[in-house]
Chains A and B, each alone.
Chain A
Amino acid sequence: MNAVTYNIPAHLFDSYQGKSVIVRSDNPIDLVSYLSQGKLENVLYVQLTSIKVDPDPLVTWASALPIDVLVRNPAGEYPFLYNFSKLLDKHPVRISIPVKRGFVKAVRLALALGFSVKLEVGQPDTSLIAEMAEVLDLYIRRSEVSQPVEYFHSTFLSFFNRKQYPNLWFVQEEDPEQFRFVTNEGVETVSPRFGKTNWEDLKLILAARQTQSTLTEKAECDSCKFLQMCGGFFKWPNQEFDCEGVKTLFSRLNLAAEELHDDLVSFQESSEGLPA
């Protein structure tokens, strides 16, 4: 995907006609109402930014657009996910969950209800790494989990297929070359990961660095075997961040992919000669 995708508030939908957009609102009625006034072909998905709302307008909505539901306070708000399970009958639904204390409960319930999950991850400390490891176990080992957990899923596929997919900047929809966030006031910004740096300044900074990946920090990244998948994602905004924890997660994904790969090869070998 080369075109820039804009995450816009619903009330600006009309102004962004013809551009690739993610349309957000904290009110399901607004989403249905504003999106009924334009063409939906360039809408990647709609994003509901509050979970403490009645989702019924989206349940009865004629459109089958994918819906992303943001759980801002995962440890406290996660039981509200039950109200959204009926959306699955008509829409692909993903739950975006910030990696904050206690977020694992939200992931557990989201997966139990059959939702896809995207972890909104910053620079996780040791205790958050432990929770992420718990989620990774769910994703890799539990037969009850049938939906992707991003960014684990894309990373796993990269390892499993031994093929380079877009790195975490893209998977997490934070690549400033491809995703822009438009504030409620209509100001275009890049991922909050870059703090208050605006896009024009950021372009200059990145160009000046001339690194392998435009967003990669040097030093620790240079010797990291997961650089291609990560793209320096975890080095922002604090370049001093110690990647040891996230590297452990990458290693476990790699190991799981290799195990699955080996299992399939061994299954194929043992199947040869059996009747079809």
Chain B
Amino acid sequence: MMRNHLSVIFLPTNKCNVNCEYCFEDKTADRMSLDQLSTVTVKLLDFVDESSISSLTLHWQGGEVMTMPVEWFEQAHERISALAQARNKRVDHGLQTNMIAYTPRWNRIVKEMFGNSVGTSMDYPNLYRKMFLGGPDDYTRIWKRNIQAAREAGINVGVISVANRETLKVGAESFSSFFVDELGITDFQVNTPFPGGEQNETKRDLELENEELSRFFLDLTDIWVERGLPEGVKLGPIDQLVAHFTGEPSCLPCIWQSNCADEFISIDARGFVAQCDCWVTSYPEYFFGNIFEHDTLSGLLKNSPARQEFVARPAAIVDKDCIECDYLSLCHGGCPVRTYTMRHTLLEKDPYCQLYKSLFRHTETVAARLAGARVDRTDFRKALTHTGKGKSCGSSSQITAAAGWQTPLLVQLERRPRKLSA
């Protein structure tokens, strides 16, 4: 059973048009037909009805979504909207793309289906993102050109960046400057690397030292507070942590939910269902099942031993040392895929625990300082409203926290909404 909102990381194609060395997905040439898409949509809507889930968001990615024709998406949007409308449901959509195949032909569907926003990815420096023919520089050049064109067309571009060894060497100042000053990006988030999928030389060297990574994130936090925050720059997950500690509505990333198995699933082009995009493309032993081979999604999820392992993970690891952690409420043992790909088991805490704790502590201090300095509350709230991809928060107006426990005659402290979204 899921929570009140269902997010689906949806891969209509497992095919990609680039050759990034550190990609955690093992690609195939599969793509979903429109009829298959209708079947999946019906089963998702059945599940939403059956589980009393109030809203559904599809986060479209691949493979690479833009290897599919624009016309396919236009028809997909029509079909999904019609099926949802027939049941008085609303389905929201998010798009994650590498933007390498972007042309202005995508503008209309991006506007109509995806709220004129795209999420994309770029690292600084770019070491591992490559074209099939050409190196990282070619990739970066094409990506820069295309995001520039998209932004000129009025599309909001959010960027996910994965830190690497060179990122730590050049430091937070250069990193921030590349995205904010050079590219004019005002909405980005930094992720930590993990060696998912088939192993290669690059992945063997991907894990970063917690101490160095912490220094980078803490420096980045300070730079953002000094320059980004006043300018309205959104920098996940730092801005959301500061919002959280300031008591503002916040949208923390999926790695820090109490249990990601309660929040979302992923479905790939072959119909396989798994916890997220990494699992569904690279770890068949952790597939929950195939949606085309089951009558209902609820039956598939309920009877999946693999899913039970994810559901049970936070409870299984909490007693080791998470229960003593001051930040248990923020993390709950972290990300299963980082743990599995770096420690080869689900039953340990996230290997980046030390980084998370440092970042939580630092952002808590920053939040206290900001509150103490009486930052202009209106601007502060505006700056902390995030629209980035990769969060498990629902789309607008969909998630509301239940009212707090009412002890008769007593005034209650207000429950902080953890999952309000932009």
Interface residues, chain A, with chain B CB atoms under 8 Å away: 1, 44, 56, 59-60, 62, 64, 66, 78-83, 85-86, 88-94, 105, 108-109, 111-114, 116, 142-144, 146-148, 150, 153-154, 157, 165-166, 170-171
B residues in contact with A79, CB < 8 Å: 314-316, 318-319
Q: Answer yes or no: B104 CB below 8 A from chain A CBs.
A: no
- The answer to whether B402 and A148 have CB atoms under 8 Å apart is no
* Interface pairs A-B: 5 shortest CB-CB: A89-B4, A112-B329, A79-B315, A116-B405, A112-B328
Interface residue count on the B side (C-beta < 8 Å): 44
Within 8 A of A (CB), among B325-341: 326-330, 332
B residues in contact with A60, CB < 8 Å: 1, 50-52
Chain B interface mostly: loop
Contact of B413 among A90, A113, A146 (CB under 8 A): A146
Q: Answer yes or no: B169 CB below 8 A from chain A CBs.
A: no
Closest to A166 in B: B409
Contact of B323 among A94, A108, A170 (CB under 8 A): A108
A residues in contact with B3, CB < 8 Å: 86, 89
Could you tell me the distance between the alpha carbons of A94 and B410 in the complex, rounded to whole angstroms? Answer: 15
A residues in contact with B4, CB < 8 Å: 86, 89-90
Q: 14 A-B contacts, Cβ less than 8 Å apart?
A: A44-B408, A60-B1, A78-B323, A82-B315, A85-B258, A85-B259, A85-B262, A91-B402, A94-B405, A114-B329, A144-B326, A146-B416, A170-B408, A171-B410
Q: B403-415 interface mask toward A, CB cutoff 8 Å, 1 = contact, 0 = none?
A: 1111111111111
- Minimal beta-carbon separation of B337 from chain A (angstroms): 19
Besides the contacts A82-B318, A86-B262, A109-B318, what 9 more A-B pairs have beta carbons closer than 8 Å?
A44-B408, A60-B52, A82-B314, A86-B3, A109-B323, A109-B328, A112-B328, A112-B332, A144-B329
B residues in contact with A94, CB < 8 Å: 405
A residues in contact with B50, CB < 8 Å: 60
Closest to A59 in B: B1
A residues in contact with B414, CB < 8 Å: 146
Q: Answer yes or no: B2 CB below 8 A from chain A CBs.
A: yes
Could you tell me the distance between the alpha carbons of A82 and B143 in the complex, rounded to whole angstroms? Answer: 42
- Minimal beta-carbon separation of B100 from chain A (angstroms): 38
With contacts A105-B323, A165-B410, A166-B409 known, is A88 near B401, CB below 8 A? yes
- The answer to whether A80 and B315 have CB atoms under 8 Å apart is yes
Among B5, B245, B405, B413, the most chain A Cβ lie within 10 Å of the Cβ of B405
- The answer to whether B410 and A153 have CB atoms under 8 Å apart is yes
- Minimal beta-carbon separation of A265 from chain B (angstroms): 17
Contact of A147 among B258, B318, B327, B415 (CB under 8 A): B415
Among B1, B332, B418, the most chain A Cβ lie within 10 Å of the Cβ of B1
Closest to A146 in B: B416
Could you tell me the distance between the alpha carbons of A56 and B50 in the complex, rounded to whole angstroms? Answer: 12
B residues in contact with A153, CB < 8 Å: 407, 410, 413
- Minimal beta-carbon separation of A53 from chain B (angstroms): 13
Closest to B54 in A: A89
- Minimal beta-carbon separation of A261 from chain B (angstroms): 15
Could you tell me the distance between the alpha carbons of A88 and B401 in the complex, rounded to whole angstroms? Answer: 7
Contact of A144 among B1, B262, B327, B406 (CB under 8 A): B327
- The answer to whether B402 and A92 have CB atoms under 8 Å apart is yes
B residues in contact with A112, CB < 8 Å: 258, 328-329, 332
A residues in contact with B408, CB < 8 Å: 1, 44, 170
A residues in contact with B323, CB < 8 Å: 78, 105, 108-109
- Minimal beta-carbon separation of A64 from chain B (angstroms): 7
Could you tell me the distance between the alpha carbons of A108 and B413 in the complex, rounded to whole angstroms? Answer: 18
- The answer to whether A86 and B364 have CB atoms under 8 Å apart is no
Closest to A106 in B: B323
A residues in contact with B332, CB < 8 Å: 82, 112
B residues in contact with A44, CB < 8 Å: 408
A residues in contact with B399, CB < 8 Å: 89
- The answer to whether B407 and A56 have CB atoms under 8 Å apart is no
- The answer to whether A82 and B330 have CB atoms under 8 Å apart is no
B residues in contact with A82, CB < 8 Å: 258-259, 314-315, 318, 332
Could you tell me the distance between the alpha carbons of A80 and B311 in the complex, rounded to whole angstroms? Answer: 11
B residues in contact with A62, CB < 8 Å: 52
Among B318, B327, B364, the most chain A Cβ lie within 10 Å of the Cβ of B318
Among A148, A157, A166, the most chain B Cβ lie within 10 Å of the Cβ of A148
- The answer to whether A90 and B315 have CB atoms under 8 Å apart is no
Could you tell me the distance between the alpha carbons of A91 and B319 in the complex, rounded to whole angstroms? Answer: 27
- Minimal beta-carbon separation of A185 from chain B (angstroms): 28
- The answer to whether A88 and B318 have CB atoms under 8 Å apart is no
- The answer to whether A92 and B406 have CB atoms under 8 Å apart is yes
- The answer to whether A146 and B415 have CB atoms under 8 Å apart is yes
- Minimal beta-carbon separation of B309 from chain A (angstroms): 14
B residues in contact with A78, CB < 8 Å: 323
Within 8 A of A (CB), among B201-260: 245, 258-259
- Minimal beta-carbon separation of B368 from chain A (angstroms): 8
- Minimal beta-carbon separation of B121 from chain A (angstroms): 31
Closest to A112 in B: B329
- Minimal beta-carbon separation of B50 from chain A (angstroms): 8
Among A112, A147, A165, the most chain B Cβ lie within 10 Å of the Cβ of A112
- The answer to whether A92 and B403 have CB atoms under 8 Å apart is yes
Could you tell me the distance between the alpha carbons of A170 and B5 in the complex, rounded to whole angstroms? Answer: 37
